Amino acid sequence: MVYVVSLIAGLLFGVGMVISGMVLPDKVLAFLDIAGEWDMSLAFVMGGALGVFAPCYWWLIKPRGKAINDQAVNANSNLQVDSRLIIGASLFGIGWGVAGICPGPAFASLSAMNPGLLIFIAFMLVGFLLAPVINRQIK
């Protein structure tokens, strides 16, 4: 069942990324450019996502305490706001602001096989691999 759920959830996520416009870097950058001609429509993506997820979590998932496959809900293991969180989020913010691409849209757009996107994803994977090395330097 876990695999069927992954398939359905993955499909929904990919479709949602395209329908919402999150895959379009121009739109993402116009959303982030608050000093320019601000396009606030992507705020509605997060609004729509939280509008569905938050009630599902608080009314369905949290009261159950565990998932339907009996696994513990894999969340909330770390509660500390630490320097790794801030440094990581800041590095991600710079990368996101430079190109207007974050991990979700990168995978949802992969079928176009654009060489620029392939380069982005390849270096993102390099970043995943290098992160533990930098992590050790951060107290």
Partner 1 sequence: MEIPWLALLGGALLGASASLLLLFSGQVAGISGIASRLLRRTQADKAWRIIFLAAMVLGGAVAANTLNLAIPTEYDAPYWLLAIAGLLVGLGTAIGNGCTSGHGICGMGRGSVRSIVATGTFMLVAALTVFIIRHLL
> Restricting to residues 88-117, which ones interact with partner 1 according to CB under 8 A?
88-99, 101-104, 107-112, 114-117
DSSP 58-93: IIIIHHH-B-TTSPBP---S-----HHHHHHHHHHH
Helix (H) or strand (E) holding 57: none
- Interior angle at CA 83, CA 121 and CA 107, nearest 5: 15
139 binds partner 1 (CB under 8 A): no
Distance in Å, CB of 113 to partner 1, minimum: 9
Distance in Å, CB of 79 to partner 1, minimum: 6
Identify residues 43-72 at the interface with partner 1 (CB under 8 A). 44-54, 56-57, 60-62, 64, 66-69, 71-72
Q: Other C-beta atoms within 10 Å of 22: how many?
A: 22
Q: Total binding residues for partner 1 by CB under 8 A?
A: 111
Distance in Å, CB of 14 to partner 1, minimum: 2
Distance in Å, CB of 83 to partner 1, minimum: 10
Q: What is the CA radius of gyration of the chain?
A: 18
Identify residues 9-38 at the interface with partner 1 (CB under 8 A). 9-26, 29, 32-36
Q: Are 56 and 36 in contact (CB under 8 A)?
A: no
Position 121: which residue type? Answer: I
